[in-house]
Structure formats: C-alpha cells, structure tokens
Amino acid sequence: MGRSNDGELETKEVDIASVSSSRRHAANEPCVHKVGVPPKPNLLKEFTATVKETFFSDDPLRPFKDQPRSRKFILGIQAIFPILDWGRDYNLSKFKGDLIAGLTIASLCIPQDIGYAKLANLDPQYGLYSSFVPPLIYAFMGSSRDIAIGPVAVVSLLLGTLLQNEIDPVKNKFEYRRLAFTATFFAGVTQFALGFLRLGFLVDFLSHAAIVGFMGGAAVTIALQQLKGLLGIRNFTKKTDIVSVMRSVFGSVHHGWNWQTILIGVVFLAFLIFAKYLGKRNKKFFWVPAIGPLISVILSTFFVYITRADKDGVQIVKHIDKGINPSSVQQIYFSGEYLTTGIRIGAVAGMVALTEAIAIGRTFAAMKDYQLDGNKEMVALGTMNIVGSMTSCYVATGSFSRSAVNYMAGCKTAVSNIVMSGVVCLTLFLITPLFKYTPNAILASIIISAVLGLIDYEAVVLIWKIDKFDFVACMGAFFGVVFASVEMGLLIAISISFAKILLQVTRPRTAVLGKLPRTRVYRNIEQYPDATKVPGVLIVRVDSAIYFSNSNYVKDRILRWLTDEEEQLKANGLPEIQFLIVEMSPVIDIDTSGIHALEDLYKSLQKRDVHLVLANPGQAVMDKLHASKFADHIGHDKIFLTVADAVLSCSPKTVDEV
C-alpha cells in the first residue's frame, strides 16, 4: 500500500497467479485472490500502539475524553475512590443486604483472625487489627463488590515461615514484629506499583494449575501445623515440611499430648465440618458454617472457664490487648540490616496475596456479571497494606471463605467490609478480655476446617484430563510445599509455569494439512482422517509466531516433515514432492531470525528441487517479508491468500480430482 498525492490510501497488489482471471471464470474454476501488500508502517505509531495495547488495553482515559476540566477532576477522584461513583445510587435496600452480610462475615472473621495471627507468629490482636483498618481502606478504593478483606491462612503461613527464618519470634518478639510490619509495607508497595504502572499482567504468569497445587499444598501444611494446638503439644518443630511435622507429632505422643485438649479440638472440628456440609447441602443454611466458628469459640471458652481446664494442661489464648490499632510507623525498618530482608519477604507475600485477591475478585465479578478493574484492585490492595503496616496490621488480602459467605449473605457493595470492620472495632474495644480462656485447640479446629476448602479435588481431576503438563505443574507445586517449604513450593510453581511458557514458545506445534472431500478447506490430517493429501504437494501449518527462540526448530521441523513424506512416497512408488506450502495464518508475527530461517528453508528446498509457497501471511508478517526483500526473493507469485489458491496454482489439474 502507498498514499496518492491527494492523501487517499492506495492498494498495491501482487500478481500471484499465472492463469488469468478470465480464463478461470471461463473454465468455471475458483477465483484466485491476490494478497495485498501492507502500507509501510510508521515506527512511532506502531510503537505507541503496542505500548497502548500492552499497558492500556482497557483505555482508562476514555471517560475523560471531550469532558470539561471540572468534570475530569470529578471523574479522576471517582477513579481513585469508586465509592464516590456507586455511592450516589446507594439506598436503604442495599444497606440491609450489606448489613446482614457484614455481620455474618464478622462472626466468621473474628475467630479466624486470632488463629491466623498465630500462623504468622504474632499476638492474636494483630489478626483483629488487620481486619479493622485494611477493609475500611479497601471499601473506599476497591472495585469488587464481594471481596471480604482480612488476613488469610496461606499468606499468614508464608509470612510466618519467611520471617522466622530471619528472626526468632519468641526470643526477639519486638524485632520480629518490626520485620512483619516492614514486610507488610513493602508488600503494599509492590502491589501498588504493579497497579500504578499497569503491570497487572505479570500476575497471570502464575498458571491456574500452579495456583491450585500451591493452595492445596499450603492447606495440607497449615492443617499439619495445627496439630500442635489440636493435640496440646508444647514443643513443636518450626519446620513446615510433612516429615518434620510428623516426626514432631509422634515423637511427643507419650509425654506431649493432652487428652482434654484433643477432646475439645476433635469435638468442635467435627461440629465445624458438619456445619460446612450442611451449608453446602442446603444454600438456605449458608449462615450455619459462617457463625459456626464464633459459636465454637463461645462454647469452648465457657467450658474451659467453668471447668478451669487450663490448669489441667489445656493451652489457652490468655491476654489479648484491648483497644484499636496503635501506630507502628516508627517500627518499620527503612534502613539497616533488615531492610533488604523486609523488601524480599514483602514482595513475595504481596504477590501471593495479590494473586489470591485478583482470582477471588474475578470469580465473583463473573458470577454477578460486572467488570473488575485489575489495576485499580492492585492499587487499592497496595494502599490498604501500606496504611495497614503503619497501623499495626500485617498483610491482608481477599479471603475466599469470607468472600463466599459475603456473597451468599447477599452483599450488595463494599459497605459489607465497613460493617465487618465496625464489628471488629467494637470487639477490640469491648470483647477481647472475654477471649482469655479460649483454648488454642478451638482455633486449630477453626483453621483446619477453613483450609480444607483450599484443596480443590475437582480442579485437579479436570487439570489431569485437559493438560498433563499443567498437572505436572500442579503436583510440583503441591509436593514442593508439602515436602519442602512454602517458599520452595511457590518457587517450583513459578518455575514450572515459566517452563511451560518457554516450551510452548520454543517448540510450537506444526501440522500437515489435507483437503476435506468436496470442499476447498484444508485441515490437520491427524484431526480429520478424511482429509487427503494432494499429490506432489506437502502442506505444513505453523501454529505460532516465528521468533529467534523457535525459528531454527520451525525450519528443522518443516524439513523433517518433508523428509518423512518423501521417504514414504518413495517406498510406495508415488510421485515426489514438488511444492511445499507453508500455511501462515496462525503466524501472527515474525522477526529477523524468523526471516533468516525462511531463507535457509528456501535454500534447502532449492537443493531438493522443491518450490516454496506461502499461504495467508498476516499483515505484520507480510510487511516484514517485503521489508526484508524475501517476498521478492521467492517471487510474488508464490504468496497466496488461501491454501486452496496455493494448491490450485501448484497443481490445477490434480486438485480437482482429490
């Protein structure tokens, strides 16, 4: 293509058939269409379009176009605080739904928060703190209507494991807490930066299969860790792998187990599992598993108090500080030896928390049919964790169990998080002294019942059926967490996810095509057994862009197809291959190495006296074929719009007979 003097776009066409159109029409033959030569691209415009599609595919500036300055300011504030947008239509009916949902998830989060804080090796009040400030921040900045914010089991375990590798949480309690706040701060910075710089697509590099395996392994690890509280063991291993845990459990069977603790834990664990079963079996009873943990805490605490079972070896929570979050700004390490450690741990915990929150948000957004802005979510999550780190909170994110209860309870907006936060605030002011006699066994039971839902058996079976490589990624992450450590499982999950990407990029699929009977359609002969090969012609389709990472493989694979076909034809005494057609419709792009690979392929075919023909190259590919002069090299009459046109020009007589 080019431009005429008056600025109109001209189309420069390539003559690709030696037989004229009039002769084809006279013979009632199909018309061979010509391939248009794309216009010479403007480098700046092409670069701008690529950047825009990569980072701004959702066109965030669209609402601001053609708006007065005052309106742009209002829209900008609403973009930062979505509550100012949907809050205009908020009414009493919606508040009723949010009030019920908020109260319901509060009854679930309070006992969970105390238990999750123990997973992170922090005092119980820090779990409650983390369900007070972060949900308030998220309610004003988040775009999800259904996510319930607070500490979660996986992130708590990950944070606790990574932190205790650096500082002993018992001997150096204050420094450990400072490092926890530092990690939380940099987790928030990581999340905020990813959203602000619109790098949310990086989260997608962790495959769904790897996440399923990681979550399942973390659930098993968390459940095993709770055996300490469930059995009443005082001296327990700090390692998280299953071998160390089981050795610690059975090594203390004669002198470490407490039968009163076991009785309390097992009875209430059975009650919680039954409550979850009842809630799943009948959706009307969704509130039963939601309030089950709180009921268990109340009953078990009352039982321990009246029987004074704590004097018989039943471990209890003891003291929980009263009052709302104290400031922790001065406790964050902004310099010193632990700064780098805090950044590293925070980045890892922040990415895991972000992945879980985005997955949950997208799930419920799809169920309610509304759009979730991933980058806004990251900014909101990052901001709440930055503020949380300054108000004695540790890493908070979206909780799947609470979000599911929030959804089932009929939440309408993020106001349910505000209601939950208010209830937690009242708890911190008024009720924390009542948790003094709460047995650790009940917290262990609550956590075990909560994490069982993270083991998704159905997803694992589906992954096995769909993609065996995905199954390897899933199992690699699972066994890495269970038999090594949480961070090792995460590393394995990321490594296998990247390995899959590299394998697909460096070893793209190719296929030999054949003609479907009584059609002009050519398809993979392995998928369509009725498809027949055209005598003297080999048609190969490349199912990927051709880059430096796979160009040599693509060339070698095509030549291997040709060699195998020639050997088979020679063995059967059939005519040799005269034309090799490369179907390029799936080839969305090609680079310099790809062009060189095509040139080498062309030279190799010349030595074999085989003609190279290209079918249906896209605009980006066609532009580079012309820029490199490769189109001139092989001849413009060797580039066709369709495979059928290419075959027709190669073998006009035999193609109609096939």
What digits encode the pLDDT tens for the residues 223-242?
999 999 999 998 898 888 99
Final residue in a domain of this structure, among 498, 515, 546: 498
Final residue in a domain of this structure, among 444, 465, 498: 498
- Residue indicated by tokens 């051709």: 546
Strand 611-615 vs strand 639-640: parallel, antiparallel, or unpaired?
parallel
Q: Do 244 and 353 sit in the same domain of this protein?
A: yes
In a domain, 281, yes or no: yes
Q: Do 577 and 641 sit in the same domain of this protein?
A: yes
How does residue 52 score in pLDDT terms, banded at 50, 70 and 90? low
How does residue 53 score in pLDDT terms, banded at 50, 70 and 90? low
- How is residue 429 annotated by DSSP? I
Q: DSSP for 101-130?
A: HHHHHHHHHHHHHHHHHHHTT--HHHHHHT
Residue 455 to residue 117: CA distance in whole angstroms:
22
CA angle 573–578–584, rounded 5-degree value: 125
Q: Judge contact between 384 and 137, C-beta under 8 A.
A: yes
Q: Which helix H or strand E contains 2, and what residues bound it?
A: strand 2-3
3-state secondary structure 319-360: CCCCCCCCCCHHHCCCCCCCHHHHHHHHHHHHHHHHHHHHHH
pLDDT at 582: 96
Q: Do 137 and 212 sit in the same domain of this protein?
A: yes
Q: Do 490 and 511 sit in the same domain of this protein?
A: no
In terms of Cβ atoms closer than 10 Å to its own Cβ (0-12, 13-18, 19+), residue 593 is middle
Residue 633 to residue 296: CA distance in whole angstroms:
79
pLDDT at 217: 93
Q: pLDDT exceeding 70 applies to what percent of the chain? A: 89
Which range has the worst mean pLDDT, 37-51, 391-405, 460-474, 577-591?
37-51
Closest residue by Cα to residue 401 from 152, 214, 155: 152
E strands, 531-650, in order? 537-542, 579-583, 611-615, 639-640
In a domain, 39, yes or no: no
Q: Judge contact between 451 and 153, C-beta under 8 A.
A: yes
pLDDT at 158 over 60: yes
Closest residue by Cα to residue 646 from 557, 509, 508, 515: 515
For the segment 419-432, the average pLDDT, to the nearest whole number, is: 95
Residue 415 to residue 97: CA distance in whole angstroms:
10
| Structure tokens belonging to residue 373 | 């802005």
Which range has the worst mean pLDDT, 50-59, 263-272, 378-387, 622-631?
50-59
CB atoms within 10 A of CB 68: 8
Identify residue 578 by its one-letter amino acid code: Q
pLDDT at 183 over 80: yes
pLDDT at 11 over 50: no
pLDDT at 34: 59
pLDDT at 376 over 70: yes
Which of helix, strand or coil describes residue 386?
Answer: helix
How does residue 78 score in pLDDT terms, banded at 50, 70 and 90? confident
pLDDT at 550: 95
In this structure, what CATH number is given to the domain that contains residue 602? 3.30.750.24
In a domain, 638, yes or no: yes
How many angstroms separate the Cα of 335 from the Cα of each of 342, 390, 657? Answer: 10, 16, 79
In a domain, 5, yes or no: no
* Domain span at 646: 507-650
In a domain, 351, yes or no: yes
The number of residues making up the chain comes to 658
Residue 372 to residue 143: CA distance in whole angstroms:
6
Q: How many domains does the chain have?
A: 2
For the segment 157-170, the average pLDDT, to the nearest whole number, is: 94
Average pLDDT, the chain: 88
Closest residue by Cα to residue 464 from 400, 456, 543, 356: 456
- How is residue 309 annotated by DSSP? G
Residue 450 to residue 448: CA distance in whole angstroms:
5
For the segment 17-24, the average pLDDT, to the nearest whole number, is: 41
- Residue indicated by tokens 């480098």: 43
Q: Do 616 and 588 sit in the same domain of this protein?
A: yes
Q: Judge contact between 34 and 631, C-beta under 8 A.
A: no
How does residue 47 score in pLDDT terms, banded at 50, 70 and 90? low
pLDDT at 16 over 70: no
Residue 153 to residue 237: CA distance in whole angstroms:
19
Q: Do 347 and 420 sit in the same domain of this protein?
A: yes
How does residue 116 score in pLDDT terms, banded at 50, 70 and 90? very high
pLDDT at 7 over 90: no
Q: DSSP for 563-587?
A: HHHHHHHHHHTPPPP-EEEEE-TT-
pLDDT at 13 over 70: no
Angle separating helix axes 400-408 and 339-368, nearest 10 degrees:
30
Identify residue 431 by its one-letter amino acid code: I
How does residue 18 score in pLDDT terms, banded at 50, 70 and 90? very low
For the segment 422-450, the average pLDDT, to the nearest whole number, is: 94
3-state secondary structure 492-507: HHHHHHHHHHHHHHHC
For the segment 525-529, the average pLDDT, to the nearest whole number, is: 93
Q: DSSP for 32-100?
A: PPPPBPPPPPPHHHHHHHHHHHHH-TT-TTGGGTT--HHHHHHHHHHHH-THHHHGGG--HHHHHHHHH
C-alpha of 336 from chain center: 34
- Residue indicated by tokens 């204050």: 174
Which range has the worst mean pLDDT, 88-102, 119-133, 197-211, 303-317?
197-211
Final residue in a domain of this structure, among 475, 498, 521: 498
Q: Do 330 and 370 sit in the same domain of this protein?
A: yes
pLDDT tens string 239-262: 889 999 999 999 888 778 999 999
pLDDT at 369: 84
Identify residue 28 by its one-letter amino acid code: N
- How is residue 572 annotated by DSSP? H
Q: Do 543 and 633 sit in the same domain of this protein?
A: yes
Closest residue by Cα to residue 317 from 159, 175, 155, 446: 446
For the segment 123-129, the average pLDDT, to the nearest whole number, is: 96
3-state secondary structure 240-270: CCHHHHHHHHHHCCCCCCCHHHHHHHHHHHH
pLDDT at 33: 61
Q: Do 485 and 540 sit in the same domain of this protein?
A: no
How does residue 31 score in pLDDT terms, banded at 50, 70 and 90? low
In a domain, 531, yes or no: yes
In a domain, 148, yes or no: yes
For the segment 277-292, the average pLDDT, to the nearest whole number, is: 88
Q: Do 391 and 255 sit in the same domain of this protein?
A: yes
pLDDT at 592: 95
In terms of Cβ atoms closer than 10 Å to its own Cβ (0-12, 13-18, 19+), residue 136 is buried
Strand 148-150 vs strand 9-10: parallel, antiparallel, or unpaired?
unpaired
Residue 159 to residue 218: CA distance in whole angstroms:
12
In a domain, 28, yes or no: no
pLDDT at 475 over 90: yes
For the segment 55-83, the average pLDDT, to the nearest whole number, is: 75
Q: Do 404 and 516 sit in the same domain of this protein?
A: no
Q: Do 153 and 271 sit in the same domain of this protein?
A: yes
| Structure tokens belonging to residue 407 | 């959804």
